[in-house]
Amino acid sequence: MKKRPRERKPSHPSLESAAGPALIKYLASCNPRVRSQSLQLIQSWLAAQPQILAESDIRRLWKGLFYCLWHSDKTPNQVALINRLTSLFLSLRPPLSLEFFRGFLVTLRREWPGIDRLRLDKFYLLIRRFLRVLFEFLRSRDWDLEVVRGYINVLDENGFFADDKHRGNGVNYHVASVFLEEFKGIDFPVKKEVVDAILKPFFAVTSKSEDKILLGKVKSCLFDELVKLGKELLAQKSSGVSCEGNNNGGFLLGIVALKMGLSKNFYEIGSSVECIQGNRKLALGLYQDFQKLEKEFESSGIEIVIPEYASAADEVPQLIPLETHDSKSDLQDQKESEKSETNPRKDMNGGDVKKRKKKKRKTPSNAVESDEGATIALNSNVVISNLQKQFERVAEKETDSTMMIIDDDSYSSDTPLASMKQCKRKRRRTTEGTGRSDQGKDVDPHTAVDESDASEKQRTSGKKVRFSMKNNLVWKPQNPLPPENLRLPPSVAPRGSALKKGVPPGPIIEMVPLEKKFKQN
């Protein structure tokens, strides 16, 4: 009996009939297909909502989204899910997106103590991406002060100064450490009102927060970085480097540190009655840092022009030029010519020849000019290679001629071949001089020739040393005495080495044998 194949049943048939808040429970499913389908349905449902949802529905929704990310494994899946959540935030209308951002902070603070270290990285990435999307959303709204203050107040009330009893301070720490990094790449209008509205929660932290870790994060990751960016901008301007076109955030934040008068804000915080006594030292220290930076900027006499802000509606998309058939063929010809220049084929005469298949097509005037330039470059390469071959042949002939014992004075002393010949001439003169000196002593010329041949053989061959017992014998007190006919007194030093004739030998040093020293008990 053949078994019938099992029919695939739908994973959750009620998912198709569910709508609205009933879909939230499917976000925490162990089946990834169910999670993705429910997230897609919830996204379409939220985009169609004209009114603000209840606070309880927002919290339920974010609890389902939290566990949807909790169950996602592997980095590519997690990044894709986080991108879907951030795009969901951008697709919502302003009042609903504000509540969505509030639910995000509240849910993360509530669930933060239960996150283990293995799942911590993806929630860190979620915080970073949400901050980036928040800045992009504010930019799309042209940095309207009311909109900016509304979203920043949510970060202040439900993040840094939340009234809940949840132990979710890790969310605040990561927001403070990542805030300026994500804000760097966003274009914003450099105005006092906008800057004060964005930095308002961090000014409040330096004044009222009792969390010393959060204070340290705000100081080191935000305000100290602003001072650093201001110093870098001032150094670049003083050195004459133009950096006005680099609107990547670092230039704008450097202008904020130099021209927005942040030292006054810190002076007001440090001198106010509401400031906590332990935070006054930190606030006044930041006041001194910013005041010193502003005084350096004033004394330098450098003028920094604040760039004009281009709103999101006025932006013109970049046009990508289309590549035609002719331009592509020209690029291919250029690449082939470069390859042939790097790896040329050599002719029998030493020249370089390029063999290329020409396509049958109509070439414009520019292509003809490029071909003429290529032929000129090819001819020049052929000439250079021929000259190089000729020089190599001449060098080989000259090296062969230097091996012969002939004195030629036709070359000047500047050439390297002449210097080689001069060295060999010196050797020849020394040998000839020795022959003349021997002739002056009435020596037989045949013997002189034999001695010169022997000396040349010693130079070319290995080291040949002759030893004799009479000339090289030294008596040592540890050895027995030699026979009487070979005895020498111990004070007589041996004669010079046979390799170095005429060099006096050095003194003889007798080593005393080492004796073991025993410790006396």
- The model's pLDDT over 120-161, given as tens digits with 9 standing for 90+, comes to 999 999 999 999 999 999 999 999 999 999 999 999 999 999
Predicted local distance difference test score (pLDDT) of residue 167? 84
Predicted local distance difference test score (pLDDT) of residue 166? 84
What is the mean pLDDT of the segment spanning 41-70?
88
Q: Is the pLDDT of residue 286 over 50?
A: yes
Q: What is the distance between the terminal CA atoms of the chain, rounded to a whole angstrom? A: 101
Pick from 42-46, 224-228, 317-321: least confident: 317-321
Q: Is the pLDDT of residue 68 over 90?
A: yes
Run of H or E residues at 346: strand 345-346
Q: What is the DSSP letter of 245?
A: T
Predicted local distance difference test score (pLDDT) of residue 332? 53
Helix ranges restricted to H, 301-444: 325-342, 365-402, 416-440
Of 58, 150, 134, 137, the C-alpha closest to 103 is: 58
Which residues are paired to 346 by β-bridges? Answer: 352
Of 291, 220, 305, 296, the C-alpha closest to 255 is: 305
Pick from 65-69, 163-167, 480-484: least confident: 480-484
Cα angle 484-490-493, degrees, rounded to a multiple of 5: 110
Q: Is the pLDDT of residue 297 over 70?
A: yes
Q: Is the pLDDT of residue 27 over 70?
A: yes
Run of H or E residues at 226: helix 224-239
Q: Is the pLDDT of residue 359 over 80?
A: no
More confident residue, 517 or 414: 517
Confidence of residue 489 (pLDDT cuts 50, 70, 90): low
More confident residue, 488 or 91: 91
* Region for residue 240 given its phi and psi (left: phi exceeds 0; alpha: psi -120 to 50; beta: otherwise): left
Q: Is the pLDDT of residue 310 over 50?
A: yes
- Three-state DSSP class for residue 351: coil
Predicted local distance difference test score (pLDDT) of residue 326? 45
The domain ranges of the chain are: 16-186, 187-311, 370-438
Pick from 11-25, 115-129, 205-219: least confident: 11-25
Q: Rounded to an integer, what distance in angstroms lies between the CA atom of residue 339 and that of residue 356?
A: 11
- 352-353/345-346 β-pairing: antiparallel
Work out the number of other CB atoms within 10 angstroms of the CB of residue 328. 10
What is the mean pLDDT of the segment spanning 246-272?
87
> In whole angstroms, how large is the CA radius of gyration of the chain?
45
Asked whether the beta carbons of 328 and 266 are under 8 A apart, the reply is: no
Predicted local distance difference test score (pLDDT) of residue 317? 43
More confident residue, 162 or 331: 162
Predicted local distance difference test score (pLDDT) of residue 449? 44
Asked whether the beta carbons of 291 and 263 are under 8 A apart, the reply is: yes
Of 45, 188, 163, 38, the C-alpha closest to 105 is: 163
Which residues are paired to 353 by β-bridges? Answer: 345
**Percentage of the chain lying above the pLDDT 70 cut:** 55
- The mean predicted confidence, pLDDT, of the chain is 73
Predicted local distance difference test score (pLDDT) of residue 285? 95
What is the mean pLDDT of the segment spanning 495-516?
57
Q: Is the pLDDT of residue 450 over 70?
A: no
Run of H or E residues at 143: none
Q: 167-177: per-residue pLDDT in tens?
A: 889 999 999 99
Q: Rounded to an integer, what distance in angstroms lies between the CA atom of residue 337 and that of residue 333?
A: 6
Q: Is the pLDDT of residue 252 over 50?
A: yes
Helix ranges restricted to H, 48-155: 55-71, 75-91, 94-111, 120-140, 145-155
Q: Is the pLDDT of residue 192 over 90?
A: yes
Q: Is the pLDDT of residue 433 over 90?
A: no
Give the pair of three-digit tokens for residue 421: 């010949």
pTM of the model: 0.59
Confidence of residue 87 (pLDDT cuts 50, 70, 90): very high
285-288: long-range pairs with CB below 8 Å, 24+: 286/206, 286/219, 286/223, 287/263
Predicted local distance difference test score (pLDDT) of residue 364? 44
Q: Is the pLDDT of residue 91 over 70?
A: yes
Q: Rounded to an integer, what distance in angstroms lies between the CA atom of residue 41 and that of residue 45?
A: 6
Confidence of residue 22 (pLDDT cuts 50, 70, 90): confident
Predicted local distance difference test score (pLDDT) of residue 259? 92
Predicted local distance difference test score (pLDDT) of residue 393? 76
Q: Is the pLDDT of residue 475 over 80?
A: no
The residue length of the chain stands at: 521
Establish how many alpha carbons lie within 13 A of residue 516's alpha carbon, considering only the half-sphere containing its beta carbon: 2
Of 488, 489, 478, 479, the C-alpha closest to 512 is: 478
Predicted local distance difference test score (pLDDT) of residue 164? 83
Q: What is the biggest distance separating any 2 CA atoms in the chain, rounded to whole angstroms? A: 130
Confidence of residue 342 (pLDDT cuts 50, 70, 90): very low
Of 197, 195, 230, the C-alpha closest to 304 is: 230
Q: 212-224: per-residue pLDDT in tens?
A: 999 999 999 999 9
Give the pair of three-digit tokens for residue 119: 């799942």
Q: Is the pLDDT of residue 7 over 80?
A: no
Predicted local distance difference test score (pLDDT) of residue 163? 86
Q: What is the DSSP letter of 222?
A: I
